[in-house]
Structure 1
Amino acid sequence: MSEHKPSARGPFEHKPQAGWVAVEDFLTETVVHPDAALQRAVQSATDAGMPPIEVTPNAGKLLKLLVQVSGARRVLEIGTLAGFSAIWMAQGLPDGGRLVTCEYLTKHAEIARANVAAAGLADKVEVRVGPALDTLAALHAEGQEPFDFVFIDADKENNSNYLDWAVRLGRPGTTVVLDNAVWEGVVLDPAMDQVNAPGIIGALELLGKHPQLDATVIQTVGSKGWDGFALARVR
């Protein structure tokens, strides 16, 4: 089972409506204002032939604001890619804050490190390479301080495992964000994507019954199509 983000959503992918993309572009230009370092991260991913699956700028800005609103000082990210979302969240950290991000592929990790350094955030961000479940187990074995904020955006098959680790590596009050929680509506028709749907649905069911998680899910539309994210708090 892979531990990196899938490169495509398959034949059922919903083509974004022109209005969704136009509104997203307007909001990005009018409200979000991604800086040059963030734009560089997106371009580096394109240049390296990575799949265009990083979060949108408005979602990245939301992550930054959630880090700030939650008062997080330690952030854990599962799924790095070129470092776009890591840069957003690290920009929301206070002085002395720390972000650990897990990346499966060495090539992606190298590009992410370069982007993080170009953003002036190398002192705040640590990129760890290897299967995420191994990295998470290592963090636990090292006795790391609890994480205040966890962002999960990796292979969907392991979503439930990642949620379990978010609880184990977090503390009461830790904020957890799980991306791709709607995935073009596969929650209603798992046959649309037999690879990713079981992990997405299983994670949502876990969020609804986990004794240590209180959660909701927000649907979204935009350049990435029809999707959404789950927002949870560790009890």
Structure 2
Amino acid sequence: MNIKPQKVLYILIFGIIATIISPLLFTRNLFLDDFNFTNTGQIGDTIGGITSPIVSLIGAILVFFALQAQIEANNLIQKQFNEQKKSELENKELIKISEYYKYFLKNVDDFSRESEKTIGSFEYKRKEIISHRGRIALKFYLNDIIRYGARDVHDSNKVLKDPKSSQFYSILKSLEMFIDILESSKISKDDKLFYKNIIHPLFESTLKPNKIDLENVNVICECGDKHVRFPSLFLETYNILDEKIERI
């Protein structure tokens, strides 16, 4: 109920006018003798008896509006409190999501790969160990799997015995954990879309092998089929991540 100050003012003015007019009106001999109040006792008692109900009624109406205004004020305060609480919860959620995203990026940056590179020529030829970290190292690792194939691609336990494969798989799982937390959080849709637009290109460009390379390389697998010896565990995880990212 929206109480307008003009409405209260109109009621108050009406009450004042009615209080002034009613004694004059009811203490005069008007049209009918039944409404003649000139002989009803002391004039003060008559005026008080006439005006008291009017004043009480006006007072009751004003008290009602005052209580109604207080209720509206309390509702407004409660609404502001709820909105503030919701905002604080969203901020906490954003901080938590940000920490998980940093954890995922740290796993990416900690990934390393070493390779030999021949430099010089003839008698000056020598080999050097080149170390790569982060996204570049991940791309080299994926290219190595595509070029040379992985062992026991259908046996997840054997795949994870390789330290680099185990580290790579932990990166995929950290991304999956981040997506699960992001999807279940109560942050706004815009904030979720913001993180989706960040992680999707990173996932496609850094953590997944190039589809063209996968299609162009044919290696005989232990199972006898002619296909790229890429670990089934990774391919299954890719499918799970694709579905979860799409749902965000």
TM-score (norm 2): 0.24
TM-score (norm 1): 0.25
Q: Which has the higher helix share?
A: 2
Q: Which has the higher strand share?
A: 1
Structure whose CA Rg is larger: 2
